[in-house]
Each structure stands twice: as structure tokens, then as C-alpha cells.
Structure 1
Amino acid sequence: MYRTVLGSTIVFAPFTIDQALEGLAEAGYHACEIGAVKGWFEHIDSDTVTDAEVDRIGRKLSELGLQPVSLSGHAQLQSADGADRFARAIDIAAALGMEVVNTYTGDATTDEEREAYFANVAALCDQAARHGLKIGMETDSNMLPTAEIGVAILDRIDRPGVLGFNYDPGNVVYYTGADPLTDIRFALPRLVHVHLKDKIGGQGEFNFPPPGDGDLDLTALLAILDDAGYTGPMSAEVEFDERGWPDYDTCRAAAKRSVENLRGMGLTV
């Protein structure tokens, strides 16, 4: 089984990419997922980052002993701008030697926007395939809040071996109140990435502590993944609560707490 958990830079969302990577390495991580999400956590800004800066980030990762495995490149994929942004994210992930680029569907609200989403994602999958990358469509808001709903979406796009699910159990509870231990089974045949994100409270309550400190039964979730033979990447996310991100030292402590808890679950980082 895939037992090395990545550290997501989201725990250091308000801080620079160097601070985020240094914080993950200090916490004990050896691999990472980097954020490139416009307006959310932009450790890489796909719109403006230069090739020289991508090269510098690659050197920084090497210096810290961090393997870059996945990129969160979430974009409004129903729009031309969002599709262009995600296309650039694919190129960045390829340049850094990653395996998976994660995204959500975006906020399509009309039939026309939904049709644009399907066309754009099909083209983006073909681009990713040329780089040997996979795209993880996350259980998130709007079109794909659960894996059960997402099956039909992935079926229609029809890019097996490239497009799969990025399963986020915390999001499933937050957006729908569904049981991740039931819902994840719909994702298993096409699972390419997991956000190991815990959750306190029910639907609509924004509270995502270090994995192992919340209400979700992550041990049971891991057992389901093991039984299914899942060997893909998992990243640990911490998004704190409705008060927002704390100071850097508190974020460092949360990253270290995550590592401690993950090791307690029998995982390595």
C-alpha cells in the first residue's frame, strides 16, 4: 500500500512557498502537495510564475529533501480563463516531476457552462496524458460534492487512466453531510489521489484540524483503501476553522501534530 503521506502546503496557506516548504520539512515530511489555487492558497501562481521560478522551487525542494508528488491547481474549468490556468498548472507539475494535478469542477451554473466544463476537461486530460500525469477531480462543491455523484461525470469525460477522483472525506461531510466510509467506495475503481483531511462538526461547519484530531474515522477509511489495494498518493491537509489561519508558529505546530498523528496510524511521511 502507499504508506508515505504527503504534506500539503495548505497548512501554511498565508505564507510564502519557501516558508511552507521549510515548515513541512521541519515537521518531518519527505514528500508534498503544493498549492496553486487562485485566491485560496497560491504558493505557485499559475498565471504569473516564470519558468525560472519553477526551476528555483525545484532546487528548493531538493535542498529540503521534499519530493513533489501532486499539485492542487483547482480552477473554474467551465471558463476559458480557468481552463488556461489549469493547463499551465499541468505544465508546472510536469516540470517539477509530479504525478497528479488536482482540481475541482468549478462553479458551473448553466447547461452551457456545464457543457464547456466537459469539453475543457477532456482537452486537459489529453494534455496531462502527454506529460504522463493524472488529473484528480476532487469531491468538493458544485458539480461533484460526492463520489457517488461524480461517477457519471467521469464516465462522460471518458479518460480512463488519466482522470480519476481525488477523494476528500472532510469535504464530503462539509458540503453534503454524507458518510465518507460509504461514499468513498464509489471512487475506489478510479481513485488517483486522497486528501487525508479530518473534520469536526457536521455539514456546513468549517473546521478541519490535523488528521486524527477530528471526528472522522480515518483508520476505517485507510482500511477501506488497503482492502481495495489503493497504492496512490495521499496528502494531509489542515485548514483550521472559521477564524482563519493562525500565525506561522501555530501552523508549524499543526504540521508537526499531523505528522505525529499520521505515524500513530501506521503511516510514514
Structure 2
Amino acid sequence: MRADQLAGIGDEAAAALPEQIAAITGLGWSGIELRAVDGHALADLDSSRFLRVHRAVRAAGLRVVCLDSRIGNWSRPITAPPTADLRELDVLAERCASLGTRYIRIMSYLSDGLDEPEWQARVLDRIALLSDRAARHGVVLLHENCSGWAGSDPERMLRLVDAGGPCLRLLFDVGNGVDHGYGAVDVLRRILPHVEHVHVKDAVGSPGHAEYVLPGDGNARVRDCLRMLLDHGYTGAFSLEPHLLTRPHEGLAATDPAPFLQAGRRLEELLQAAPTGVA
């Protein structure tokens, strides 16, 4: 693993950008993933506020590894028109160019009561539409294994890759399986060649009732997933998203960066001591 592969989602540490930057640089890391600043999604910042974000990140010498969108997430079911998604993609693509990244995180839409065949058809059509727009902007959409049609099924994830072409790749979150009811190692084995970005968290509990813990202390088999990725030659970012205080879908925001910093040190330890061989 290279040192420049370590990154973190800034608002997992703090709401305000200076504290986000301080947490990342305090860990000695070079990468930041941007999702929200002062509680506002990156795409919703006006041009002057975004300019301040750009200048602050650059002044800190940080590399932006990904921008996290709301496209396809729990707030936008597949029955909603694509207008908001396309608008957000256009804004974030411009901001990708400014910040020097080409990755935008998306999800794959809740059904809003549709039966599975129609849900699938609409999702694949929407992904094709978004991927075409992404290609025109020169960015890559990263689908996360979270909520949505392809959130927990590796075969559906691969269908998305086919629908999206070269502008749709996969973001694998190591810890999401605990809350969504699947084994992370089993899913990762199936999709490994298509993974270009990784989120790291861990959890205990049951589907729909996950409790988040330090990486390595839960049931997500974080060590095994990290080793599998390293053994495969993965060269993308390991981006920390511990969810210890910040959980946007629950309206929770970080008020103390200490848990994020603790999780960051634990991630470093796991990557340095990842066991060989995955059962």
C-alpha cells in the first residue's frame, strides 16, 4: 500500500471545512473526499463558497479523491424525474475539473413501490443516461454498495457496470454489508476487478440495526477485505467513513473529530498488519 492511498470523508470528522482539513492533515494523510461543508452538500454551495473550499483544500496540499453526490441515494427514488440528478452531476463534474478529481459517488435508487422488473428497467435506463452525461464531462461515476437496486447484490452491480460502460465503476464500502444483510467478503470476491474506490467502516448488529465501531472491531471482516484488495493490486484510495458520529441518512453530524482520528489510526494499523490469505 502506498501512503497516498489514505484518505477520509471530511464531514465524518467535522461539519466545518477547516476542522475537516485539520483532521485529515492531523493524520498525516494526503487525500480528502468531499461530501458536505457546514451541513450543505457540495453541489448546493454557491460559487463563492465553493471557491473558498477550493482554495482551502489547495492551500492544505490535499488531493481530492472523490466527490459524494446524492444521485440515486435514499432521498431520490427511481420514480423521481432525472432532473435533480442531472443538475447535480453537471455541477459536480465542473467541480471535479476544478479540484482535480474524476470520481463522483452515486447509488442505485430505492424502488418506491415498483415491482422488481420495472425497478430494474428504470434503474438501468437511468444509469445509462447518467453515464452518457458523465462521459461528456470526462468524469467517472462510482456506484456504492449501499441502498438501491444494486446495493447488496453483486450480480446487479455487474449489470450496472455493463449499463454504464467505461464511465461507471464500483465503490466498495467494506462495512455496509452489516446494515444491509450480506457478507462483504463474498460480494467483494465477485466484483473485485471493477472496484476503483473503497470506503472503510465497521459495524456490529443486524440488518437495519447496525452499530458502528472502530475498523476491525466489528463483523464486516475488514481485515480480510483489505487484504483481498491489496493482494489483487488495488491502487485506489482507502477512504475512511467510520460513521461513529456522522450518519447523514439519520441526520447525525460530527461534533468532535477525536473518534475519526482514532478510526484513522486503526485503519493504518490494519493496513500495515493485514493478514495474508482470505478464507
TM-score for the superposition, normalised by structure 1: 0.83
TM-superposition CA deviations, 1:192-219 (whole Å, max 9, x none)? 1111111122322232233234333222
Call closer, same or farther: CA 1:153–1:198 in 2, change over 3 Å: same
2:157 pairs with one of 124, 142, 151? 151
Q: Distance in 2 between matches of 1:98 and 1:155?
A: 20
Partners of 2:262 and 2:160 in 1: CA distance:
35
Counterpart code for 1:91: E
Q: How does 1:1-269 map to 2 (within 5 A)?
A: 1=1, 4-12=5-13, 15-36=15-36, 42-46=39-43, 48-76=44-72, 78=78, 79-80=81-82, 81-109=84-112, 110=114, 114-159=120-165, 161-176=166-181, 178-240=182-244, 245=252, 248-249=255-256, 252-266=257-271
Does structure 2 conserve the Cα–Cα contact (< 8 Å) formed by 1:211 and 1:236? Answer: no
Which digits, 9 at most, give the CA deviation of each residue in 1:211-233, with x for residues without a partner?
Answer: 23433322211111122222122
Percent identical pairs in the alignment equals: 24
Runs of 4+ displaced beyond 6 Å = 241-244
- 1:62 Cα shift? 1.7
Paired residues in the alignment total 258
TM-aligned CA distance change 1:206 to 1:17, over 3 Å: farther
| Cα gap change, 1:116 to 1:51, in 2 (>3 Å) | farther
User: By how many angstroms is 1:179 displaced?
Assistant: 1.2
State the 1:137 CA deviation: 0.4
Maintained 8 Å contact 1:71/1:100: yes
Q: Quick one: distance in 1 between partners of 2:271 and 2:170?
A: 24
Give the alignment's TM-score, normalised by structure 2: 0.80
CA gap of 1:151–1:193, structure 2 versus 1, over 3 A, is same
Which residues of structure 1 form unaligned runs of 5+?
none
How far the C-alpha of 1:58 sits from its partner, in A, is 1.4
Deviations 1:107-156 (A, max 9, x none): 23336665443333223223333444221101011302225243353254
The answer for unaligned runs of 5 or more in structure 2 is: 273-279
CA distance in 1, matches of 2:268, 2:190: 27
Question: CA RMSD for the aligned pairs?
Answer: 2.8
- Report the more deviating stretch, 73-82 or 90-99: 73-82
